[in-house]
Amino acid sequence: MGRRRRRVDWAAGVGTGTLPEAIAALSRLLPAGPSPEIFRRAKFDRPEAAPALWRLLFHVLAPLPERGASASLSPEAQARLVKAVLCSQGYPRPVLAQLPEDGSQGSRELLLALSWLLAREPLTERLLVQTRVQLGDQVPDFESGALASSGPPVLHMGAEVPVDLRCVQWLMGKLRFRWRHLISSQQEQCTLLGKIHLYTHGCHSDQNLGHLSVTETEMLRDPEGGQQLLWALECENTRLKAALEWRRWELVFWRWMVS
């Protein structure tokens, strides 16, 4: 009877023609997005859906350098990172922390965790920004005077909390050193960008720009790299189309989750 009811629920979504489209759009939008069938199985807590959702949450929550090294991380390590990040963000359900890290069960809880992330923050917009193809030249802004003061740090110490002043001074010195190194790297980047803009002045078809960007200069040096850039732009267009479809059918997904 329960199996028959599950089939009816999913078939109702198929009949409307919107639920499969909503889940398919979400799958295309998310990094390492699983198939819509994985979402359906996770809704009913099927164990075979858990590994794909662990990988999905890892790619959503892990910093970008960690994602690049995902091939060297075991599934257990990825699951531990997912648990730690969700705990630090205030995930309210303690069931997640008790799930086994081998991916043998807990697909429904993982689907709830993903839904919680979608509901609490503009997750899809953040992912689109992270995967955006950079065509122009951008330099991050840093306030060079933020750590310029060489005076001792002002400590707010309680009577019950011992503080090692030498350790604090050492940490502040290390922080200032790395901040100066960051500012120096930014200045070097600006100098190199200025040289590229100077040497390519008048080469751009847009008179408002007047120079080529780093990406455009690399394409002139390596024309075959243009194919990779074209492929990256096509992938970005696919994600943007998926984002528009997700916005159109998002409400259907939430109705399915609470049903």
**DSSP of 81-132:** HHHHHHHHTT---TTGGGS-TTSSS-HHHHHHHHHHHHHHS-HHHHHHHHT-
- Asked whether residue 60 carries a pLDDT value surpassing 80, the answer given is yes
Would the pLDDT of 65 be above 70? no
Residue 33 is predicted with a pLDDT of 83
Are the C-beta atoms of residues 217 and 196 closer than 8 Å to each other? yes
Residue 16 lies in a domain: yes
Q: Please give the C-alpha separations between residue 216 and each of 46, 55, 73, 223, 226, in angstroms, as whole numbers.
A: 48, 35, 35, 10, 9
Q: For residue 43, is it within any domain?
A: yes
72 in a structural domain? yes
Q: Supply angle C-alpha 15, 16, 19, rounded to 5.
A: 100
Half-sphere exposure of 165 (CA within 13 A, CB side): 6
Taking the C-alpha atoms of residue 195 and residue 161, their distance in angstroms, rounded to an integer, is: 53
Domain total for the chain?
1
Radius of gyration of the chain (CA): 24
pLDDT at 12: 45
In-domain check, residue 162: no
165 confidence band (pLDDT: 50, 70, 90): confident
Per the domain annotation, does 208 fall within a domain?
no
For residue 127, give the nearest of 20, 254, 27, 208 by alpha carbon: 27
Please give the model's pTM, rounded to 2 decimal places: 0.69
> Is 170 among the domain residues?
no
In a domain, 27, yes or no: yes
pLDDT bracket for residue 13 (50, 70, 90): very low
Question: Over 50: is that where the pLDDT of 259 sits?
Answer: yes
Residue 67 pLDDT > 90: no
* Confidence at residue 246, expressed as pLDDT on a 0 to 100 scale: 93
Confidence of residue 68 (pLDDT cuts 50, 70, 90): low
pLDDT of residue 11: 42
Task: Please indicate, yes or no, if residue 181 is contained in any of the structural domains.
Answer: no
Q: Which domain holds residue 249?
A: 2-133+238-258
